[in-house]
Structure 1
Amino acid sequence: MKKAVTMFRLFAGQPFGKTVLSLIALLVIGLIGMTHSASAQAREKLGYGLLLTNDTLGDFEDRWQTGSITASRIWGPAWMGELPTEAGAILELRSHGRVIGPSNLVYFNPDDRRYAGIVSFGLHTHFQRGGADIALGTDLVMTGPQTGVSQVQTAMHDIMGINPPSQSVLSNQIENGFHPTFVGEVGRGYSLGSIAEVRPFAELRVGDETLGRVGFDLTFGQYGQGGLLVRDPVTGHRYEVIRGGQDGFSFLLGGDLTQMESSIYLPESTGPEMEETRARLRAGGNFQRGNLSLFYGTSWLQEEFEGQPEGQFVGATQLKFSF
């Protein structure tokens, strides 16, 4: 399936694939340069965030986007309650591990999606320009048996007495590979009185999956105000890496629509075809009191491949103690 998606053509008359390599190269060079230019400023550790996602926290199944863990560590100048205007002043080191699986881990089904073990490490920066929040970064995404993800899942399933992935499923998993990936997001918050904020955003991802996405986040309460939130790639929830807001409960809603160009997790050569459009809807809540912050959210993910019988619900959770 080779259909050009015009929204991804960054320059008139230039094929998207050539522009991808240029973007990634320029971003890597730019991040290195920004890190060097910002190194004169005193830098300190500003925050840490860890988000767990699992479909057993959503629809109590073990399939498709079945589980992930994402960790972020933030360094920069003393935090003043808002993003700096200089790109590279705030740096985020991000690590991510994920399992994607078929609906049946025992019997291989060529019409279901293939098993994938994923590990990635990346460098990102966050800043603001003209009232908009901007996040830019690169990740090195690794796939296949080399990641060790399947061994970890097998060990955990053995401990819990659940059937682990069979040899037939693992022998047909996504192959070993290294996939440089660019991620960029632009968003802007608009106050809806004293109790709510809506934040439309747009995202571009190029690499392991090439896509364009537009959506919104709606917050009732203080969650994230004066702090920094980072978006999870699976559920779309934003998790806290620099604490902000006030004690109390916040309610969160959001959604986005994605136009897909390609995905290494749904290759054209084998298995079912990728759906070219995807939607996500999400809701969650955050409770904050003193040094404690607790977040839980659930996301509905629309079908991602042709033949997928239904969407799925994936839960996300974060527990933080501040000292």
Structure 2
Amino acid sequence: MSSSTKQPDVITCKAMVAWEAGKELVMEEVQVSPPQPHEIRVKVVCTSLCRTDITAWETQAIFPRIFGHEASGIVESVGKGVTEFVEGDHVLTVFTGECKTCIHCASGKSNMCQVLGLERRGVMHSDQRTRFSVKGEPVYHYCAVSSFSEYTVVHSGCAVKVSPHAPLEKICLLSCGVAAGLGAAWNVADISKGSTVVIFGLGTVGLAVAQGAKLRGASQIIGVETNPEKYEKAKAFGVTEFLNPKDCKEPIQQVIKRLSGGGTDYSFECIGDTGTVATALQSCCDSSVVS
């Protein structure tokens, strides 16, 4: 059999496995199965930690599990039917995949793919089975990525090819936090030039929103954040004014409305708190957009 048709073998590598909710992750030797049709196996070069990983580790019921979903890596092998990737390609993982044919993918208005939408059951989309195991026992996936492993298997629609010249140690942030924030500003809200914007939370997502708002020409970008250490960095991303709710003697939405001349045109909640969502809505003018 020629090397071009040889089927990839099971790989044994290191991975951080969560055995129970809230319990310390354990470095384990895991077996990673070959990619099945329309899947690729990726050598993970860099992965970052998202707050969503921590929340799921603390609360979700599917264990044992390998977390992580913001990753950059190199394609190690490809399954049958994969045409958009070859061995050696540099990629970013995408936890909300795109089949490119369903009604949502075709609309251009949503990324909630009907085929490769949010995966919460810990198995692959194609056969509802896991590609990880430890001593013969299944270990489950997370967000269709599981990047806290030296190797992982993802559906080909859950990865994006990138330039081999892009620094993998930096661009892993683009696969979730930056894409979410910049996409919310650029694609969802479609921020208009000269508009006013407020952003609740100046983490990775919030800073990406600020950058997107700046690029779209927003005239005022208000950052709401309780950690003053983030202020200087946020200026470089485009934030023009800062508010710390702890320093305000009145509800923060009233301060924002006064500062923006009646409420902002766009409001972004980048914390993930239902109470803050209501505050973000109350900070807007009557014709604004909330994301």
Which has the greater radius of gyration?
A: 2
**What's the TM-score, normalizing by structure 1?**
0.21
Between Structure 1 and Structure 2, the one with more strand by share is 1
